Chains A and B, each alone.
Chain A
Amino acid sequence: MSLRFEDDFLKKLEYLHVVSKRAFAGQNRADRLAPKRGRGLEFADHRQYAAGDDFRHIDWKAYQRLNRLLLRLFDEEQDLPIYLFIDASRSMAETAKFDQARRIAAALTYVGLAHLDRITILPFAATLGDETNPGRGKGRIFRVFEQLERLDSTGPTDLRQAFSSFASRGRQRGLAVVISDFLDPKGFEPGLKILAALGHDVFVVHVASASDRDPGVFGEARFVDAETGDVRDVDVTPALAAAYREAWQTHASELEHFCGRYNLGFVRADAEAPFEDIILQTFRKGRFLA
C-alpha cells in the first residue's frame, strides 16, 4: 500500500492544525501557545519587578505614569508533543481498516510536522512497539510514509499493557491520539484510563469496517479469531446476525460514552469512508483539527 498523498491534499493539510484542549509545555520554540510566560512576541501581562529580573523587560512608560516598576510579560510559543498510537494488532489486519488507520496517522503526522509539533508514532498490539520520531519540519513526512508502509499487523490487542508500557517511559505530557478498532478482549477502558491519568489530552479515533458492524455471513460458519486463533462454530441465523449487530452498536456506544465521560476526544472513522472526508470533515467536526 502506498501512503503518498496528493500535493493538493497536502496543501489542504497545511492549513489545519491539531487542536489540543489544553496547553502543554514544549521543548522548542514553535507557534503553539505554551502554558508559561516566556519570550514570545505577543504581550501577555505585567507583574511587579523583582530583583534579578531582566531590566530590558521593565515597562518604562508604566513607571512614568504609575511610578512603579512593572515588568512586561510575553506568551511563550512552543511545540506540542503529539503521541500517535496506531493499533497494529491482528484485528486490524483487514486491509481497508489498517490502511485507513495508517493514512490517518500519516495525515495527522503531516499536520503536526507542518506546525513544528513534536510527533511520536507508537505502534502497539499486546505491548508497545518501536516508536518513531520523525523530527521537525514537513520534509520529514516521507520518512514517516515509509515507516508506516513497513508497519505490519501482528499479535493480540492489549491496550492496558501497551499504555502501561508507555507510562513507564516517563514522557512529557501532550496530545495522545489512539487509532484503533478497540477490540480488546480485556476491554478498552483500562488502557484509556491510564493515558488520561498521565495527564495527556487523549483523542480516540475508532476505526471500524463494514465487516465489523455486520459479519455478512449466513448459515453454518467456523469463525476464527484473527488475534487469538480461537475457533467457534456458529450457525448464523437472522436473529443471531441481528444480535451481533446490536452487540457491535453497544460496543461502539460504550466507547463513545466512555470518551465523553472522561472528556476524551472521539471520532469514528469508517474504513470504507473516503479518507479525505474523514480528515477534512469528520476530524474537524470532532474538533480535533481546525
Chain B
Amino acid sequence: MSFLAMPAWQAWLLVAAVGAFAAWLFFRKVRPPRIDVPSLLLWRRVFDQARAVTWWEKVRRAVSLVATVLVAILLALAVARPAPRVNATGRGRLLVVLDSSTSMSAKTSDGRTRWQHAVAMARRLMSSTSGGDVSLATTGEGLIEGPTSDTALLESALDRVTVVGGADVPWPRVTGTDAVHFITDGARERPLDASVVMHSVFEAAPNVAVTAMAVRPATSADGGGEAYLEVANYSTTPQSVRITLTRGTDSLFDQSVDMGAGEAARQVVPLAATGDARLRAHVSAKQDALEDDDDAVAWIASAQPLAVTVVTHQPAPLAGLLRHALGVTPTFVTPAAYQPVREGVVIFDRWLPAEAPSVPALCLAPPAAAWLGRVGAVEHTPRWSHAGTHDVLAGLDPMTVDVARAYAYDGDGITAIARSDQGTPLIAVVDRADRRLVIVTFGLSDSNLVFAAAFPVLVGNSLEWLGRPASGDPRGPGLVALPASTSKVTGPDNRTIALARAGNASYARLTAGGFYDVEAGGSHQTLAINPGTPETSNLTRTTLANAAAGPADNPPAGRPWWLYLAGVALVLVTIEWWTWQRRITV
C-alpha cells in the first residue's frame, strides 16, 4: 500500500497548505454551547474589571498558535516522508543497483553485513533524489522496482530484496535514467560503463570456505566413487580449520587442519558403493566472516540407482544392455504380469497398459492407447539423416540406424524431436507436469537399432532424461533452468520454490545452499547448491580501485524521519491538550 507519494514541491506545498489551514482553524471561532444565564450583569462586571494578566496568559495564545501550526506541519511532513540529502545526486531519474552476490553477506567490523550497508546506502541515494523517479535493481534479480517516486514502494522493495548469489542477470536498463549508482563490494569484476557511479561497501574480512565439492563417479560397478573437497583459508593470518564430511549421518572425515594465509586444501575421500546419497561438508574457523560458504553438499547418484521396469515379451535385447549399465536397476516383466510402478522409469516394448503410468516411460513402437493417442500412417524404410538437438538425441549417430517401418503418432502433447526425411516422427517426447514420455516410433524388430551403436546412446539418454529431469551436479545459487514439466521444487527447509515458465523451460531461483528436490512428470531429482566459490569467498580482495575507506563512511540511515515527526507531533498535542484541560496556563 502506498499513498501520498509526491515530489518535493508538492510535499512543501502540502506543508504550507496544512500549516495555513491549521492557523485558520485556530483563529476561527468555534460556536460554543449556548447557556442561558439569569443575567449577564455580574459577567460584565468581571470583564470590566482590570484583571491581572499573568505571563502565561500573555504568551499562551501565541504558544498555542505556534503549537497548532507546528503539529499540522509535522504531520504533513510525516505523511510526505522527508529524508536527509546525503549525496548531490540532483534531480532526475536514478537507477540504484545493489550487488546481491554471496560475498555481500559477509560481516564487517561493526557487526553489520556488507548487504546491510548497501541497503542503507541505497536508502540515502533514493532519498536524495528530491522526488525524482528511482529504479531499484540487484545483480541477481535485475529490476526490482520502479521507476517510481513512491518512496513507500521503494522502501518495501528494499525490505524485500536479499542476497541471492549465483551468476548475474543482464544489467538492468531503464529508459531515461540520468544516473546509475552501483553499490558493491567488488568481489566480482564486472565490465560497466564509465558513467556508472560506484559505491563501495567493501571491507576486508577473513573467511574460510568450501570452494569446491563434487562426487566423482565410480569406474566399476562395485565402486562408490570418491568425494572431492576444496577448502580455502582467505585470511591474512594462519589459522586452524576444522573440516567435516558426512554422508547421511555417517561421518567420513573430521579433522582440524592448520592452514596458512590464503592457502587452499584439497581432500579426496573414497565413497562406499552403498549408503546415503547425501554428502555434506562443513568448515569452521575462528576467523570466518561469511557463513553461507561454510557448508557444501553433493549428491551421490550411484547410491540411488534408477529403477527401470521393462515390460516386454522379448526382454533379451534390453536385458543385455541394462544389466551391465551403471546406476540402473532393471526389472523385466511380461505385459500380463505388469503392475503399475511407483518410482523410477518404465519401458514399454510394443505394449501399453490401459491406464497411463504415474512414472516417466520409454515407449518402443507403442500401440494406440487412450492416454497416448492414435497410431497414424506408416512410412516404410524411412531415412533418418539428421539428429535433433534434444537431450535424448545427444551423441546419437542416426546414420547407423536402419528402420523398416515407422509409425506416426497423433496425441496430446506429443512433440517429435527426430523425423525422417519425409517428415515422419521417429523419436517423440511428451514433457508435461503429469507425464513424461519418450516415444520411439519404430520397433526393435523393425530396425537394426539393437545392433547399432545408437542403441545404448538412445536408451541411456532417454532414461537419463526421463528419470533425472535436472543435472544433479553441484552448482552455485541463482537462476536454474529446469524442464518444462517441472511441477514442484522443494528447498532445504521444505519450502516450495516459486517456478517461472518461459518457452520450453521452467526457472527457479535457488538462493541458499543445500539440497533441492525437483519433481517433474512423476520423476524426482535432487540438486546440490553450493554458494562457495574462490571468487566470492575471498573477502580480502576487491576489484574496486578505491575501496579502502570501506563502509564505515556510510553510517546507518536509522529510522525514517516521519516516525520522529509523528512522535513530536503527538507529544505536542498531548502537552497542549493537558495544559488546556488542566487550565495550567490560564
Contact = CB atoms under 8 A, between A and B. Distances in A.
Interface stretch (A42-50, A86-94, A158-166): A86-94
A215 B29 CA distance: 22
A221 B38 contact: no
Given A238-B586, A239-B51, A223 B37 contact: yes
A247 B45 contact: yes
B583 interface: yes
B586 A221 contact: no
Interface in B32-89: 32-47, 49, 51
Given A243-B51, A244-B43, A238 B37 contact: no
A91 B39 CA distance: 6
Interface string A229-267: 010111101111001100110110000000000000000
Contacts of A149: none
Contacts of A35: none
Contacts of B32: 219-222, 233
Given A237-B586, A243-B49, A223 B33 contact: no
A194 interface: no
Contacts of B337: none
Nearest to B580: A219
B51 A92 contact: no
A210 B51 CA distance: 24
A212 interface: yes
Contacts of B35: 215, 217, 221-224
Contacts of A91: 38-39
Contacts of A184: 41
A232 B51 contact: no
B316 interface: no
A47 to B, nearest CB: 55
Contacts of A228: 40
A250 B49 CA distance: 13
A61 to B, nearest CB: 66
B34 A224 contact: yes
Q: Contact residue range for chain A?
A: 35 or more
A184 B40 CA distance: 10
A230 B38 CA distance: 11
Nearest to B52: A239
B31 interface: yes
A150 to B, nearest CB: 22
A181 to B, nearest CB: 7
A217 B32 CA distance: 12
Residue from B33, B42, B49 having most chain A Cβ neighbours under 10 A: B42
Nearest to A230: B40
Contact of A226 (B30, B36, B44, B49): B36
Contacts of A222: 31-35
A199 interface: no
Contacts of B31: 222
Contacts of A239: 51, 586
Given A238-B583, A240-B46, A247-B45, A215 B38 contact: no
A220 to B, nearest CB: 4
Contact of A225 (B33, B37, B583): B37
A227 interface: yes
Interface centre among B29, B31, B38, B44 (most CB of A within 10 A): B38
B39 to A, nearest CB: 4
Contacts of A223: 35-37, 40, 43
B51 A221 contact: no
A137 interface: no
8 contacts: A215-B37, A222-B35, A224-B37, A239-B586, A240-B46, A244-B46, A247-B46, A251-B42
Interface of B: 29-47, 49, 51, 583, 586
Given A221-B32, A221-B35, A251-B42, 19 more contacts: A90-B38, A92-B38, A157-B39, A211-B37, A220-B30, A220-B33, A223-B40, A223-B43, A224-B37, A225-B40, A230-B40, A233-B29, A233-B32, A237-B586, A238-B583, A243-B46, A247-B45, A248-B42, A251-B41
Interface of A: 90-94, 97, 157, 181, 183-185, 209, 211-212, 215, 217, 219-228, 230, 232-235, 237-240, 243-244, 247-248, 250-251
